[in-house]
């Protein structure tokens, strides 16, 4: 019997996602044995600084990728929004699973919407994407750094250390911990992170037997969305140090994409593009060029200087 070992982070959400992949693999391939290899990553261990300060979201992946390269694991399971757009040597993304809810949720103690939160209220977030969009509509709110797993950030609101926070709907829904007072932020107005709500499976390049197994998990609709959104990131050279948002959706046989680039002052630049689903990469590239041509190039130059 063939054994597949899955590398995963140790967080509750990461383990849920890995068990979901393992169950799907076992159901579709009953003749294989699936094992998990939980690992600790620097992104999980360093919580007193923002990801932008300590090296980006790639810190959530490095230990898992090492396990793939040295043969301890056959595949790794990631939240796509944590995966850098540049593909590492000898590794590739083998499947994008069906997308969950891609929206962000606004979490406040009494369900007070963004517009009604009192001036000077404290909103906990370390996401530059969320901060830029929040400041665009409520520059009078105070943003304070807040990192950690979903339970930690929910507790910060519950214990009144912050008045509100913003979290990805998919993670809360997967763990069944959505607060009753949570408010969904419309993706037409508040854009999510590229790849938000998508689980992806990474493998060694050239491992054709594993690739065939993993391919059975893929969703064609989600694959088109992921490719378009990730191409925006790739063209702009983006990571968590860039306030970049993107959301693609399928409308019949058309793929539509909205991308947004911001800065910490609340300035936002939007671009849209669309086309056939099998041209997802080109659609993403067109949106990225639209951002650059609309002032994004100058915004990125200023961002680079502020971080140098």
pLDDT above 80 (res 250)? yes
Q: Do domains 1-99+198-218 and 104-184 have the same CATH topology?
A: yes
Per DSSP, 190 falls in state S
So what's the pLDDT on residue 54? 43
What is the structure's pLDDT at 57?
54
CA 4/CA 254 separation, integer angstroms: 36
| Backbone torsions φ then ψ of 183, nearest 5 degrees | -120, 130
| pLDDT of res. 56 | 47
pTM: 0.92
Distance CA 33, CA 172 (A): 29
Amino acid 109: pLDDT = 87
* pLDDT band, very low/low/confident/very high, at 242 (cuts 50, 70, 90): confident
Per domain, the residue ranges of the chain are 1-99+198-218, 104-184, 219-308
CA distances from 292 to 67, 286, 295 (A): 37, 10, 6
E strands present in the chain: 2-9, 32-39, 75-79, 91-96, 104-108, 122-124, 142-144, 164-168, 183-184, 199-204, 244-251, 254-262, 268-276
Give the whole-angstrom CA distance, residue 16 versus residue 10. 10
- The fraction of the chain above a pLDDT of 70, given in percent, is 92
Q: Work out the mean pLDDT of the chain and round it to a whole number.
A: 92
Question: Would residue 82 show up in a list of annotated catalytic residues for this protein?
Answer: yes
Look at residue 166 in the predicted model and tell me its pLDDT: 98
Per the CB < 8 A criterion, the answer to whether 247 and 258 are in contact is: yes
Residue 125 to residues 144, 168, 169: CA-CA distances in angstroms? 6, 12, 15
* pLDDT attached to residue 114: 97
Cβ partners under 8 Å of residue 17, min gap 6:
8, 77, 79, 174, 199
Q: Report percent pLDDT > 90 for the chain.
A: 82
207-219 average pLDDT score = 95
Residue 277: is its pLDDT beyond 60?
A: yes
User: Would you say residue 219 has pLDDT above 90?
Assistant: yes
Average pLDDT (92-121) is 96
pLDDT exceeds cutoff 90 at 292: yes
Number of residues that this document lists for the chain: 308
Active-site residue, from 74, 82, 104, 263: 82
pLDDT at 264: 87
Per the CATH hierarchy, to which homologous superfamily does domain 219-308 belong? Porphobilinogen deaminase, C-terminal domain (3.30.160.40)
| Annotation: CATH topology of 104-184 | D-Maltodextrin-Binding Protein; domain 2 (3.40.190)
Cα–Cα distances in Å, from 199 out to 17, 49, 98, 99, 122?
Answer: 7, 25, 8, 7, 31
* Long-range contacts from 141-147, C-beta under 8 angstroms, 24+ separation: 141/117, 145/50, 147/47, 147/50, 147/51
116/76 Cα distance (integer angstroms): 42
pLDDT higher than 50, residue 226: yes
pLDDT at 58 over 70: no
Q: What does the alpha-carbon distance between residue 248 and residue 102 come to, in Å, rounded to a whole number?
A: 10
- Tell me, which fold does domain 1-99+198-218 have in CATH? D-Maltodextrin-Binding Protein; domain 2 (3.40.190)
Q: Measure Cα distances from 197 to 79, 94, 132, 278 in Å.
A: 7, 17, 20, 21
User: pLDDT of 8-54, one tens digit each?
Assistant: 999 999 999 999 999 999 999 999 999 999 998 655 544 444 444 44
Residue 81 pLDDT > 60 = yes
């Amino acid at each position: 019997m063939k054994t597949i070992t899955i590398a995963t982070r140790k967080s509750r959400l990461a383990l849920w996602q890995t068990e979901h992949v393992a169950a799907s693999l076992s159901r579709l391939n009953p003749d294989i044995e699936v094992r998990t290899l939980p690992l600790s990553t620097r992104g999980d261990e360093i919580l007193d600084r923002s990801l932008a300060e300590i090296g980006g979201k790639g810190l959530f992946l490095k230990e898992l990728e090492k396990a793939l390269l040295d043969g301890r694991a056959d595949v790794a399971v990631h939240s796509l929004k944590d995966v850098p757009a540049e593909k590492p040597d000898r590794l590739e993304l083998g499947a994008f699973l069906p997308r969950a809810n891609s929206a962000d949720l606004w979490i406040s103690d009494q369900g007070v919407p963004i517009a009604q939160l009192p001036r000077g209220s404290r909103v906990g977030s370390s996401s530059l994407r969320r901060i830029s969009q929040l400041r665009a509509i409520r520059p009078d709110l105070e943003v304070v750094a807040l990192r950690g797993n979903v339970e930690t950030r929910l507790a910060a609101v519950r214990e009144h250390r912050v008045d509100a926070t913003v979290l990805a709907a998919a993670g809360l829904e997967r763990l069944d911990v959505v607060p009753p007072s949570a408010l969904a932020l419309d993706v037409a107005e508040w854009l999510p992170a590229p790849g938000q709500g998508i689980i992806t499976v990474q493998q060694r390049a050239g491992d054709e037997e594993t690739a065939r197994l993993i391919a059975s998990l893929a969703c064609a609709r989600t694959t088109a969305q992921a490719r378009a959104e990730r191409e925006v990131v790739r063209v702009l050279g983006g990571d968590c140090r860039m306030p970049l948002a993107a959301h693609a959706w399928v409308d019949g046989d058309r793929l539509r994409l909205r991308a947004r680039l911001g800065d910490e002052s609340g300035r936002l630049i939007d671009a849209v593009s669309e086309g056939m689903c099998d041209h997802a990469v080109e659609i993403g590239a067109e949106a990225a060029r639209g951002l650059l041509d609309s002032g994004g190039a100058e915004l990125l130059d200023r961002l680079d200087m502020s971080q140098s």
